[in-house]
Homo-oligomer: A and B are copies of this chain.
């Protein structure tokens, strides 16, 4: 086993940055018997390529971490979609700068192994900084704080500027195209799209930060961050979270709680997707700026007719309980709920609020909703809803959509495999 070592003396510290990530990746690919490098999280993940997982600190087995805070990373389907929504999100879109399909696969493997480590509570919070192999410090066993990490592929991973960059072009799902332009929206392309998206959710904002930081650090010379969005929901303890207009957002999700409902509306199966996407789903993310000041100038009762729901209980107007069946006749036909339901399609909402200080131009609060939905088909389920809302929604004067992205979330992976591997098997 080859070690890249360094002198531990405080007076003579060799800077390991002279070994680039690319070199290490090359070494990992070339090494016959495994390689351990002195880099946070890399030791075990590269060793696993040779069929043997090296855990640098056996004390950190997952069993020592409270199971209630662990959501398994490996599985038939990715976590962070059908699993309960955590309080804090960090969502990053990366552009792949490599043009080599083997390097892309290697990056996905690295990201997979790091993600599995982090969701199990390893390589979190305090472990940034390079580590000498012979001085692996004792790490505290961190709670992963219900961390989930969810990956998705954008259309530009398949074809960019007309070029089939990785030879994957024919595998691009029909669904994976941008949502048609919706009237009234102004999309900023700098905060939209991207080759790969990673959604990190946790009950601890520091964990979500470190996840994106660790994944970005591991991708140096392979990928660059295109945009990042952080978000939060209220500490609702299982209740439907409220958006920044004060209304419960995601009540209809109750209709998608059963596994059967998710089979029908969320997960791709052989009837509606390419083979590599079976047990995957499509993610749509839209940043919706909300005019908080204008909303505050609006009567409470008018707000309720705009949404079509009671602000306090979340019940649709004319009903008492949030989860009572909606009576379409009792709510205004330009209300948000009426329009969202009138298409008859269902989507799984998993949105987060954002708050980014004040707008330097207007002085108003720069806040809103980072809308995230998962569905079997963007075009059949979400687009009809968005088109109808764009035309008639009484909420439109108070909101503006400033980003829009679609990603194909592949199925989950199992230990030893990697996220998206089915895409390459097909090929």
Interface residue ranges, A against B (CB under 8 Å): 6, 8, 10, 13-17, 40, 87-88, 90, 125-132, 135, 137-140, 143, 145, 203-207, 209, 212-213, 216-217, 224-225, 227-230, 232-235, 241-242, 244-247, 292-293, 295-303, 305, 310-313, 332, 353, 355-358, 363, 365, 367
Contact = CB atoms under 8 A, between A and B. Distances in A.
Contacts of A228: 357-358
A130 B16 CA distance: 60
Contact of A209 (B139, B227, B353): B353
A312 B209 contact: no
Can you tell how many copies of this chain the complex includes?
A: 2
Contacts of A332: 10
A129 B311 contact: yes
A192 to B, nearest CB: 14
A363 B247 CA distance: 35
A217 B296 contact: yes
Contact of A242 (B126, B292, B365): B126
B10 A234 contact: no
Given A139-B312, A206-B232, A311-B137, A130 B245 contact: no
A300 B137 contact: yes
Nearest to A232: B205
15 contacts: A13-B302, A88-B232, A125-B242, A125-B246, A126-B242, A126-B312, A128-B296, A135-B300, A137-B300, A205-B353, A206-B244, A213-B292, A217-B293, A230-B355, A230-B357
Contacts of A301: 8, 10, 13, 132, 135
Given A129-B299, A217-B293, 8 more contacts: A14-B299, A16-B297, A40-B296, A130-B299, A132-B299, A137-B300, A204-B234, A225-B363
Given A129-B299, A130-B296, A300-B137, A234 B247 contact: no
Interface centre among A131, A206, A216, A228 (most CB of B within 10 A): A206
Contacts of A10: 301-302, 305, 332
Nearest to A363: B224
A213 to B, nearest CB: 6
Contacts of A311: 126, 129, 137
A204 B128 CA distance: 27
A323 to B, nearest CB: 15
Given A206-B353, A235-B206, A355-B209, A246 B132 contact: no
Contacts of A132: 299-301
